[in-house]
Chain A
């Protein structure tokens, strides 16, 4: 098993946390993981992107040339990375912010209205966790409690009150793709 995923969104949309949670959770499950964040001289509103490789074997190149999946939070990110998708790969999009998708490569597209779902449960900031839930559900990576324990480690102190809404977001994301 080897899974190469590119995550991207607007700086501030929480892709770093989303990627880190997946990396942390699969690491606890005994898999090898390499998580490479972009860290350029970014500007507000720029694209922040992350290369995440999960594998049962040793991971060699940390840079992804061909992705097994993309998790895209906004339209400019999608435009930037769509060419890197392999045929028969998976595309997870925040359909609240990405509506036009060209699908020439026979890709499995999961349109998840992450911003809307997060908004509906009371905190738009949790849209990244909606996509996390959706991605995990489809890929069947780890059980939700593992994510929740990783999330607890991140949301400490003054961030603790945000735990419940993030938990709910993960569950809603997972529920949403169950119908696909």
Chain B
């Protein structure tokens, strides 16, 4: 399977699109341990990496995978691993080390139901873990949330560039729905991995001072200084890399905040005008960290209410509330354990919110 024709449309699963985009973005080292619903990534890499002179290893554990990523990243290569829920939890120690060592890499999490072994159906319940650091210590990873197969591919390209720009792990946060469904995808984004000069990389100290990649600081005060530098970097990312999509938020009565699969379902309600009497808008965060707090804050000042829709028991809604800061009521609709909200569910919820509002008005 050669997918190199940049003018051609391919019918691929979200998983395959992520894998292929990584290859097109110059990733030549992939390490993975199988887990549903992301196995197509490993399968695709196993077929394609040998064709492009890269390395794909089906390793003995998730820990091995993330630490091999650490090695390849330290050597200056573009590298990726992928997993789902339980496997991503196992990788957290490694992700913290990558963040602490300021190593660029891409991690794909195709979320499945949890907690524990959970199930293999779509979920967005790894949000907290993804956007609040995940492992130990003061750090964040950039988190990108695609909503379609094409966007999954596009964001994987961007993920590698962001990782190299900020020397930081970047996570693609998808879900089983997005990973398994097939859509048309075009691979035509230009990528120049060589334009990132990695002078810090461990490439053999031939006629230069040796580089050191580490996350351990033994001298008193050194670690605090390093943390301050990290925080400066995180602030820079927050100021420059926020991304979102806005639909019909202007003059809206209610704005839905949803990402990934949930955002698509909410879009159906809005674009097909299923609630003709209510003006409904959508704010779809594309970066989950850094979070689009500013725009949500602005919207909160202009609408009657905000509704957050997630495939979780209520995780992103906390960040929505932190952005809204009490300016308007924040409602939540969530499904867990493989339940996917339907447009009908969203319509019912919005109707409820509006009638709630009318009742309150009557009482006052």
A residues in contact (CB < 8 Å) with B: 20, 23-24, 27-28, 32-37, 39-41, 58-63, 65
Tell which of B11, B36, B267, B342 touches A39, judged by Cβ atoms closer than 8 Å.
B36
Instruction: Given A35-B182, A40-B121, check contact A60 B272 (CB 8 Å).
Output: yes
Please tell me if the beta carbons of B120 and A35 are within 8 angstroms of each other in the complex: no
Q: Which residues of B contact A20 (CB under 8 A)?
A: 11, 182
Q: Which A residue sits closest to B178, measured CB to CB?
A: A62
B183, B271, B340: the one contacting A63 at CB < 8 Å is: B340
Question: What interface size band does chain B fall in?
Answer: 20 to 34
**Interface pair A32/B184, CB less than 8 Å apart:** yes
- B1-48 CB contacts (< 8 Å) to partner A: 9, 11, 36-37
Assuming the contacts A33-B183, A35-B11, A39-B37, asked whether A61 and B177 have C-beta atoms less than 8 A apart, the reply is: no
* A62 and B264 contacting across the interface, CB-CB below 8 Å: yes
Q: Please pick, from B11, B181, B340, the residue contacting A37 in the complex, using a CB distance under 8 A.
A: B181
**Chain A residues positioned under 8 Å from B182 (CB to CB):** 20, 23, 33-37
CA distance A24 to B11 in the complex (A): 6
* Known pairs A41-B119, A63-B177 / 20 extra A-B pairs, C-beta < 8 Å: A20-B11, A23-B182, A27-B184, A28-B9, A33-B11, A34-B181, A35-B181, A35-B182, A35-B183, A39-B36, A39-B37, A41-B120, A60-B265, A60-B267, A61-B267, A61-B268, A62-B181, A62-B264, A63-B342, A65-B344
Say yes or no: A33 contacts B184, CB within 8 Å. yes
User: Does B89 lie at the interface of the complex (its beta carbon under 8 Å from any beta carbon of A)?
Assistant: no
Contact string against A for B residues 328-352, beta-carbon threshold 8 Å, 1 for contact and 0 otherwise = 0000000000001011100000000
Expressed in whole angstroms, the Cα–Cα distance for A24 and B177 within the complex equals 19
Given contacts A60-B268, A65-B344, contact A36 B177 (CB under 8 A): yes
Going nearest first, the 8 A-B pairs with the smallest beta carbon separation are A60-B268, A61-B268, A36-B181, A35-B182, A60-B267, A61-B265, A27-B184, A24-B11
If over half of B's interface residues share one DSSP class (helix, strand or loop), that class is named, otherwise mixed; here it is: mixed
What distance in Å separates the Cβ of B184 from its nearest Cβ neighbour in chain A? Answer: 5
CB-contact partner of A61 in B9, B11, B121, B264, under 8 A: B264
Cβ of A52 to closest chain B Cβ, rounded Å: 9
Q: How far is the CB of B96 from chain A (nearest CB, A)?
A: 32
A27-B264 contact, Cβ under 8 Å, with A34-B182, A35-B183, A39-B180: no
User: Which B191-236 residues sit within 8 Å CB-CB of chain A?
Assistant: none
Q: Which of B156-209 contact A (CB under 8 A)?
A: 176-177, 180-184
- Residues of A within 8 Å of B267, CB to CB, are 60-61
Considering residues A33, A35, A61, which has the most beta carbons from chain B within 10 angstroms of its beta carbon?
A61
Task: State in angstroms the CA–CA spacing of A23 and B10 once bound together.
Answer: 11
Which residues of chain B from 242 to 271 have any CB-CB distance to chain A below 8 Å in the complex? 261, 264-265, 267-268, 271
Q: 20 A-B contacts, Cβ less than 8 Å apart?
A: A24-B11, A33-B11, A34-B181, A35-B183, A36-B180, A37-B181, A37-B182, A39-B36, A39-B120, A39-B180, A41-B119, A58-B271, A60-B264, A60-B272, A61-B265, A61-B342, A62-B264, A63-B265, A63-B340, A63-B342
Interchain CA distance A58-B272 in the complex, whole Å: 11
* B121 to A, closest residue via Cβ: A40
Task: Give, as a whole number of angstroms, the nearest-CB distance from A37 to chain B.
Answer: 6
Q: Measured between C-beta atoms, what is the minimum distance from A100 to chain B in Å?
A: 28
The CA of A28 and the CA of B343, in the complex, are separated in Å by: 29
> Which residue of chain A has its CB nearest to the CB of B184?
A27
B11, A27: Cβ atoms under 8 Å? yes
Q: Determine the residue in chain A with the shortest Cβ distance to B272.
A: A60
How many Å from the CB of A141 to the closest CB on chain B?
Answer: 15
Cα A40 to Cα B176 in complex, Å, equals 11
| Closest chain B CB from A24 CB (angstroms) | 5
With beta carbons under 8 angstroms apart, the residue of A37, A59, A65 that contacts B343 is A65
Query: Which partner residue on chain A sits nearest B344 by CB separation?
Result: A65
Give the chain A neighbours of B121 by CB distance below 8 A.
40
In the complex, which of the residues B120, B176, B183 contacts A34, with contact meaning CB atoms closer than 8 Å? B183
| Complex Cα spacing A70 to B342, Å | 19
What's the Cα separation between A23 and B184 when bound, in Å? Answer: 9
Q: Let me know if A37 and B180 touch, CB within 8 A.
A: yes
Residues of B within 8 A of A24 (CB): 11
With both chains docked as a complex, state the minimum distance between the C-beta of B149 and any C-beta of chain A, in angstroms. Answer: 8
The smallest C-beta distance from B333 to any residue of chain A, in angstroms, reads: 15
A-chain residues with CB within 8 Å of residue B184 when the two chains form the complex: 27, 32-33
In chain B, what residue has the closest Cβ to A25? B11
**Which B residues are in CB contact (< 8 Å) with A60?**
264-265, 267-268, 271-272
CB distance from A70 to the nearest CB of B (A): 18
Contact of A23 among B11, B37, B265, B342 (CB under 8 A): B11
The CA of A59 and the CA of B119, in the complex, are separated in Å by: 27
Q: Which residue of B lies closest to A19 (CB)?
A: B182
